[in-house]
Structure 1
Amino acid sequence: MGNKNNKKKKKRQQEKKKNKNINKQLVDEKKNEKNEFKMLLLGTGDSGKSTFVKQMQILYKGGFNTKIVDLYRNIIRINLKQHMKILLKASADLKIQLPKESVIIQNKFLDLIKNSPVMWNDKIIEMIKQLWEQPQIKECYKSRHHFQLPDSSAYFFDKIDEIAKEDYQPTRDDILNCRIPTTGVKELSFNVKNYIWNLVDVGGQRSERRKWIHHFEDVDILIFVIALDSYSQKLFEEHSVNRMTECLSVFEQTVNNEFFKKKRLVILLNKIDLFKEKLKKVKIKEAFPDYEGENDFEHTSEYFKNKFLDIVNQKKRSVSTHLTCGTDTVMIEKIFDDIRVSIMEKFISSYI
């Protein structure tokens, strides 16, 4: 009798081991069958999508080659001229009076960049420096929620002596802070743990959004980036429209699209550093009268997170939210690692 029971037990163990091996083989086959994942990166203009792509380039592609670094050096210098021009116009619009000597410099600067084909020279550098040193221009910069100006402008104005050097090479932080609106489609592929991740970034300006639908097929993960600090800003394309309101509308149209209702959704509530600073100057209630909570980071970020989550129709779909600072490489690495691991766990478990 004992021998008979032992034989049955041994047989069950053998069958269990066999089934386990079969399951492992099936999982391995499926893993080998699909070793690439497509991530579609969407968001309205100036949300920080391009910075996320740059971070992936730094973390998984070894950074930037000489050609790209040279390109950014030229863009940073062009941006400095353009951003000072924006500040000068805004100071006039906001009735911020410059000292007489600064008005003379302002007029020379505007005349020079308008009529001279020279992109960058000692005269331009010196005039930008002198203008940036004026308290009135700094005051204007602090009121930038009233007009369109990248928040990283001060970062570069403060570095103008370094940027002016002939042998200037943009650092990693310089490139991360440099603003270039995405036009068309940018694709980046990189390998992590023997899996290929294809990241597709499509421009977020209104004129670019019509191109989004062409990239909806075969998406494994939809990443939607939201600039939290945009709650008090107006659209570049239409100054009567609030940026956050526009973002909510675009988000609703996108995430509830038929293509995505079974896809994993990742929401990046971005620019938390700038959001915290803006909260000190502009109350949420000024732009969103329905807000009743405290004007602190914890309550306001939760308010916006819930506004976006409430839009998602398929309540059972896989959705994760993250508070992010796009220029913080360590933070972005951790967040992407969390996203990657959760995707892999779900993918593997679906075949067990």
Structure 2
Amino acid sequence: MKKSHGDKLKPSDDVTQMSRKGAIARSRSIDHQLNEEREKREKEIQLLILGGGGSGKTTFMKQLRLHYGDKFPDEERRLWRPHVFQNVVDAFHRIISNMEVLGEEIKSDEGKASAQELNRLYPKMCYQRLLALENGIHASPKKNRDQLLLDLPSEVIKLQKDPGVKASYATRNRYPLRLSEAEEYFLNDFERICAPSYLPTIKDILFLRKPTVGVQEMCLTINSLNYRVIDVAGQKSQRNKWIHFFEGVTAVIFFVSLSGFNEMLEEDSTMNNLRDSLQTFQEMTHNQYLTKTDVMLFLNKHDLFMEKMKRFRLAETFPEFRGHNTPDDALGFIKDEFYRRAPPGKSLYTHVSCAINVDLMKTIIENVLQILVDINLRRTGLM
């Protein structure tokens, strides 16, 4: 018997109809969420920056901010003053250490007193002590590292005037404990940094050495794509944190210090810097979570590498090198050593860089961004 239009639906019919509507609504909601998640993945690129300490990772992050971020406004640049002063203090500690090793003396009584006071008030900052201070271990409740250096210490200014220190620094190429690029840069511009009105320039910030402790993250939006860039500390004791960021990453940039071919690690004086990078690169590229992840290899500090090749022989620390001691032959050998350690068929994009060079890095970063867009399109099935 057919129902007339005036017949009412039974309660069971109401429940069935509501259930169907609910199922349709849930299905649409799930589809909507999936579409949103897919669109989010298509628009988000996760970039992981890895490499040993001092290889240039943090400088690359600064270049990203300079070209695509807030360009370091004046109010923030003031906050970099203590870190510049710490680089200068570290430089004088290193000069004094080298003078002791070489049997050289501080000439003036005022200079000798200043050296003692510098050691007492601003002890040498090794990486382990920096890590402890950053984590709040053994830190003074009244003064932390940055508060101590709101101004350049007078002890440093007195030491800089000492004839013995001046003579030693003039022949610093003999130093067994080399000064970092940042330390030399700031010492060569000492008078400007001493000025009471000193405000770090963009170039100062790029040169400045401040080891990454833990994880630094930066988010940028470039051409409608969201970039999440992660810089993880590169010292050997910190590398156990790397694996936590491997899964889901779009690409990895691995930084290498080319000039480290004849240097030992700061945190391990028995390990050659470049050999450590080769070993770490091999372990990283063979990790199970990165088997399908593209890797960009940045052979950085090319400017320092070129200078060093004039004074040192690559074969002295890499006897397996059989080429001429020229930058081209040496660079070709180093590239081959990295490619030889990567898994067969691994996608590698190589850039020879100088992370402090603004114009060069602008071009390289543009190239990197295009590669990342192509990788992301391929990963999301749109290419």
Distance, in Å, in 2 between the alignment partners of 1:132 and 1:295 is 36
Q: 2:174 — aligned with what?
A: 143
Q: SS state of the match for residue 152, structure 1?
A: helix
Q: SS state of the match for residue 319, structure 2?
A: coil
Is 1:52 aligned with 2:60?
yes
Q: 2:114 — aligned with what?
A: 109
Aligned length: 320
Q: 1:26 — aligned with what?
A: none
| TM-fit CA distance, 1:149 | 3.1
| TM-fit CA distance, 1:128 | 2.0
1:42 is aligned, of 50, 74, 81, to: 50
1:262 is aligned, of 284, 287, 292, to: 292
* CA pair 252-105 structure 1, distance change in 2 beyond 3 A: farther
* CA pair 307-126 structure 1, distance change in 2 beyond 3 A: same
2:236 is aligned, of 206, 211, 222, to: 206
Cα deviations across residues 216-271 of structure 1 (Å, max 9, x unaligned)? 12100110000000010111122121111111111111111111111111000000
| Runs of 5+ consecutive residues of structure 2 not aligned to the other structure | 1-36, 123-147
* CA pair 37-294 structure 1, distance change in 2 beyond 3 A: same
How high is the TM-score relative to the length of structure 2? 0.78
Cα deviations across residues 50-97 of structure 1 (Å, max 9, x unaligned)? 1001111111112123453122111111221221111111122134x3
Structure 1 segments (4+ residues) deviating >4 Å: 29-33, 116-119
Q: SS state of the match for residue 38, structure 1?
A: strand
Is 1:232 aligned with 2:240?
no
Pairing of 1:233-252 with structure 2 (within 5 A): 233-252=263-282
Q: 1:321 — aligned with what?
A: 350
Distance, in Å, in 2 between the alignment partners of 1:270 and 1:33 is 30
Task: Decide whether the 8 Å contact of 2:250 with 2:375 is kept in 1.
Answer: no
Pairing of 1:108-127 with structure 2 (within 5 A): 108-116=113-121, 119=149, 120-127=152-159
* CA pair 344-211 structure 1, distance change in 2 beyond 3 A: same
Pairing of 1:1-352 with structure 2 (within 5 A): 34-95=42-103, 97-98=104-105, 101=107, 104-116=109-121, 119=149, 120-130=152-162, 134-139=166-171, 141-144=172-175, 146-147=176-177, 149-313=179-343, 315-348=344-377, 350-352=381-383
| Amino acid of the structure 2 residue aligned with 1:340 | L
Judge which range, 213-222 or 333-342, deviates more: 333-342
Q: SS state of the match for residue 320, structure 2?
A: coil
Task: Decide whether the 8 Å contact of 1:148 with 1:236 is kept in 2.
Answer: no
| TM-fit CA distance, 1:346 | 4.2
How high is the TM-score relative to the length of structure 1? 0.84
Distance, in Å, in 2 between the alignment partners of 1:188 and 1:234 is 30
Q: SS state of the match for residue 228, structure 2?
A: strand
| TM-fit CA distance, 1:109 | 2.2
Task: Decide whether the 8 Å contact of 2:91 with 2:184 is kept in 1.
Answer: no
Larger radius of gyration: 2
Task: Decide whether the 8 Å contact of 2:107 with 2:164 is kept in 1.
Answer: no
Task: Decide whether the 8 Å contact of 1:106 with 1:131 is kept in 2.
Answer: no
Distance, in Å, in 1 between the alignment partners of 2:107 and 2:62 is 41
* CA pair 129-61 structure 1, distance change in 2 beyond 3 A: farther
| TM-fit CA distance, 1:320 | 0.6
- Percent identity, aligned pairs only, is 26
| Amino acid of the structure 1 residue aligned with 2:95 | L
* CA pair 194-129 structure 1, distance change in 2 beyond 3 A: farther
Distance, in Å, in 1 between the alignment partners of 2:271 and 2:165 is 33
* CA pair 49-132 structure 1, distance change in 2 beyond 3 A: farther
